Structure 1
Amino acid sequence: MVTAIGLEGSANKLGIGIIRDGKILANCRRTYITPPGEGFLPRETAQHHRAHVLALLREALDRAGVQPRDVDVVCYTKGPGMAPPLLTVAIVARTIALLWGKPIVGVNHCVGHIEMGRLVTRCDNPTVLYVSGGNTQVIVYSRRRYRIFGETIDMAIGNCLDRFARLLMLSNDPSPGYNVEQLAKKGKKFVPIPYVVKGMDVSFSGLLSHLEKQAPLLLAGGECTREDLCFSLQETVFAMLVEITERAMAHCGSREVLVVGGVGCNERLQQMMGRMCEERGAVLHATDERYCIDNGAMIAQAGCEMFSSGQVTPWEETTVTQRFRTDEVEVTWR
């Protein structure tokens, strides 16, 4: 049995999880929440992580009932993400690996999401839609790589939703995207928004710019409500994502879809994707906020798979990188 501890801190979520042979022993998390209308900046996010990481480490060990001597491998997020938060967590991972005398594995954040989704849903070989604050990709496994079939050409879907929430001065607690989702459930009027799909890729910056200009005018004129705008935005951007996912499924002959990443727990996205899958005779796999939102257990799970297949990160390579493509990772465990 392999026991892995995973440390995640690529953005505003600090997570530490412990996995033992596919069983989640602990999955603890702290979120840096900023005032309404404000995003989270790298330096302040790193300060948050530094302030909470040791207490969270103790909490995870206690919840799992594990001692340092029981841990076989220390795993941490190597990237992609924001450099200062990544560095903060990497330094802690390097320190405990040295103190405990354990090997260390640097994990691709995106691969962590995929492996967590595969573990929780028990899916086989799905077409993956990875949607989060910093990433939007359609991914299919082939020949020891997670191949990217389509992606955003500018901003990620989560960033688009977050910036729209800031435009409406919505609370960041528990997350701006969640609060957009709740308002969207009350929306009744569909407001046309630019729909931008370019082959297998999507673009969100133009439609966000459109909303930044038009939303204040529409709201001031009483033509629609904040709820209507949230509803219209979700319907538009999620339809774009369903379209490129279905196209990848058709190309690969896939009969499974796995939705991962923080935006993946959005109920409306799951409904729309589920209907597409039903019409194609396919199956949708999705999880809730425990596993969709950034967490340490997903890093532990991916790191455990890597370690069990013989991968260990050389000490001189235990660095971080803000840009780390999903398809750069050699998948030696499948």
Structure 2
Amino acid sequence: MPTVIGFEGSANKLGIGIVRDGEVLSNPRHTYITPPGEGFQPRDTARHHQQHIMSILRRALDEAKLTPKDIDCVCYTKGPGMAAPLLSVAVVARTVAQLWDVPIIGVNHCIGHIEMGRQVTGAQNPTVLYVSGGNTQVIAYSQQCYRIFGETIDIAVGNCLDRFARILKLSNDPSPGYNIEQMAKKGEQYIELPYVVKGMDVSFSGLLSFIEDVAHKKLKSGKCTPADLCFSLQETIFAMLVEITERAMAHCGSSEVLIVGGVGCNMRLQEMMGKMAEERGASLCATDDRYCIDNGAMIAQAGLEMFNAGITTPLEETWVTQRYRTDEVEVVWRD
């Protein structure tokens, strides 16, 4: 079986993973963390990746107990993502592929999440909820394509959580979403927020503006706590996501739901989705932060599927793109 290495750096997580025959041999990761109240800028994130990528590459090879001669293919995230971080990692992947004289494959970031989720959970043909800092989509496979049934029409769910965490000045370590999740467990009062589902699509920007306004007014007056706001935000946006996912499952006649992406390791989201699946006689497939959060192994896993199907990327086409739709990829490795 081929041994494939994957490079991921589309946002603030830099990861390199090595996969062989569905087994993850190594998967080290390093996260760029900014001070509380601040997001991460493309230039600074790219600089972080440039500073750490060689040490992460060495760790990946050492943990897998492999040398460059053992690698059959190099894969990297082609997009979507932030241009500067994507490019900084793609340059290294391209250089390594030429130095080691092996093929290279550009992988769609979302496809990486889906294929890793399918591999880890054993899901056969699930309806997929893809929720991360930059993406929110409900996806199902049909006729060699991962088709998007619904998505956000403005900002992603993870971006909504991150921006609200900045309002509360929550730490970005290990992630803003994780710290909102922990604070939400202490919430005692539900504050009604805009619930914006439009057919199969969702919208978070108006909800975010509304809760920011509530935070400025009610926190000062002592009418609610930060924990109440975190609890209310989670309950509202997760209910929206469960609704559109259930609608897609009904349309597809699906008996499995798979949650992928960084927000997917939120235990409250998994709990709500699990209850919906149980009521439908379906099963929930979910992973932990090793594979939900951006990592190199997921790029390697999707790349392995592509490599086995005879797909490689010509060197002159190993560019990156900030916009790369999930449904643009021809999924030739599935029936």
- Give TM-score scaled by structure 2 length: 0.99
Q: In the alignment, which residue of structure 1 is the partner of 2:267?
A: 267
Q: In the alignment, which residue of structure 1 is the partner of 2:195?
A: 195
How far is 1:27 from its partner?
0.4
Secondary structure of the 1:193 match is coil
CA displacement, residues 138-186 of structure 1 (integer Å, 9 cap, x when unaligned): 0000000000000000000000000000000000000000000000011
Q: CA RMSD in A?
A: 0.4
Q: Which amino acid aligns with 2:246?
A: E
Alignment of structure 1 residues 159-238 onto 2, 5 Å: 159-238=159-238
Q: In the alignment, which residue of structure 1 is the partner of 2:69?
A: 69
Q: Matches of 1:280 and 1:6 in 2, distance apart?
A: 36
Q: In the alignment, which residue of structure 1 is the partner of 2:127?
A: 127
Q: Which amino acid aligns with 1:39?
A: G
CA displacement, residues 168-207 of structure 1 (integer Å, 9 cap, x when unaligned): 0000000000000000011010000000000000000000
Runs of 5+ consecutive residues of structure 1 not aligned to the other structure: none
Q: Which amino acid aligns with 2:234?
A: Q
Q: In the alignment, which residue of structure 2 is the partner of 1:39?
A: 39
How far is 1:59 from its partner?
0.4
Q: In the alignment, which residue of structure 2 is the partner of 1:258?
A: 258
Q: Matches of 2:294 and 2:2 in 1, distance apart?
A: 22
Q: Matches of 1:23 and 1:156 in 2, distance apart?
A: 31
Q: Which amino acid aligns with 2:271?
A: Q
Q: In the alignment, which residue of structure 1 is the partner of 2:286?
A: 286
Q: In the alignment, which residue of structure 1 is the partner of 2:94?
A: 94
Secondary structure of the 2:150 match is strand
Q: Which amino acid aligns with 1:119?
A: Q
Q: Which amino acid aligns with 2:158?
A: G
Q: Matches of 1:164 and 1:28 in 2, distance apart?
A: 29
State how many pairs are aligned: 334
Name the % identity: 74
Q: Matches of 1:181 and 1:216 in 2, distance apart?
A: 20
Q: Matches of 1:147 and 1:8 in 2, distance apart?
A: 23
Q: In the alignment, which residue of structure 2 is the partner of 1:296?
A: 296
How far is 1:256 from its partner?
0.3
How far is 1:92 from its partner?
0.3
Q: Which amino acid aligns with 2:163?
A: R
How far is 1:222 from its partner?
1.0
Q: Matches of 1:251 and 1:298 in 2, distance apart?
A: 28
Q: In the alignment, which residue of structure 2 is the partner of 1:27?
A: 27
How far is 1:212 from its partner?
1.4
How far is 1:297 from its partner?
0.1
Runs of 5+ consecutive residues of structure 2 not aligned to the other structure: none
